Amino acid sequence: MSGRTASGRGPGAALILLAAGNGQRSGHATNKVLLPLAGRRVFTWSLDWTAPVHEITHTVLVVRESDRTAAAAVLAKESPRRDITIVSGGNERHDSEWAGLVAVSRAIRAGEVDVVVIHDAARPLAGSELFRQVIAAAREHGGALPGRSVVGLLPRANPNGTRAHVGAAGATPTVAVQTPQAFRAEPLLDAYEAAAREGFIGSDTASCIERFADIEIAYLHGEAHNIKITFPEDLFVAERLLARSGFSLPRRGWRSR
């Protein structure tokens, strides 16, 4: 499974790319992460951005069972050189995260992976630097969440940018939390194993960490352009933002009626 192996360089980070959606799709539409976007599929942009992040040594793509064949075909075309494990996710985000963690659990227990990065494939614009930052912060503090504050400040963060635990962040309405999020691998795996034993289903990674782990979370300033593809308009915006990173497109001029 490992891509650029970390042998001789210490443990690496595992990227879990969530592309399964929420399981409530009507069944006949394409998963939005498989849509074309500026010459690639939405989800392979994240693979593109993380290709130069050498800290990432393992990559797991979590898809819906019905999307496995399509995802594998896209990977063969758009990320042919990257060693990626494809696993099937569940109906809930928590299930998909757990499926991804199980895929790297052996590497975590063997000490080959010390950080797990969880990223939503519907965020195709999270840049390489943000991945590097969350990995470094997770190694230093235990966990790292990027976020954008509505009022321009990250509330209730310590002066050094850290918090004792993450619970309040999820409840703070003024912070829009983004992905990629990174956590030390062993506590994260322990937390999800405990959640599995108790039948706990968290709404996101933070809720599981809050309940079953005691690690410090660092807050990082997220990127303004790190949008999540939710509305059709987001696809137009993403196309234009990608134009600035080398895909030549005009920067303006779409209308809605």
**Nearest in space to 59 (alpha carbons), one of 83, 94, 93, 43:** 83
Which span sits near other proteins by CB under 8 A: 9-17, 27-35, 145-153, 171-179?
A: 27-35
Q: Does 239 bind other proteins (CB under 8 A)?
A: yes
Alpha-carbon gap, residue 248 to 238, rounded angstroms: 13
**Residues within window 78-107 making contact with other proteins, judged by CB under 8 A:** 80
Binding residue for other proteins, selected from 31, 44, 205, 226, defined by CB under 8 A: 31
| Residue 29 exposed, middle or buried by CB count within 10 Å (0-12, 13-18, 19+) | exposed
Asked if residue 249 binds other proteins (CB under 8 A), the reply is: yes
CA-to-CA distance for 46 and 183, rounded, in angstroms? 18
Q: Which CB, 8 or 253, lies closer to other proteins?
A: 253
CB of 24 to other proteins, least distance (A): 8
**Distance in Å from the first CA to the final CA of the chain:** 47
DSSP characters for 101-149? HHHHHHHHHTTSEEEEEEEETT-TT--HHHHHHHHHHHHHHEEEEEEEE
Of 96 and 133, the one with the shorter C-beta distance to other proteins is 96
Sole binder of other proteins in the list 18, 20, 38, 71 (CB under 8 A) = 38
- Closest approach, Cβ 36 to other proteins, in A, equals 5
- Site for other proteins contains 256 (CB under 8 A): yes
Give the H or E element holding residue 207.
helix 205-212
- Is residue 197 close enough to count as binding other proteins by CB under 8 A? no
Q: Judged by CB under 8 A, how many residues of this single chain contact other proteins?
A: 34
| Piece in contact with other proteins (CB under 8 A), picked from 49-57, 94-102, 183-191, 223-231 | 223-231
User: Taking the complex as a whole, how short is the minimal distance between the CB of residue 44 and other proteins, in angstroms?
Assistant: 13
- Encoded one letter per residue, x for contact with other proteins by CB under 8 A and - for no contact, window 4-23 reads -----------------x--
φ, ψ (nearest 5 deg) of residue 93: -55, -40
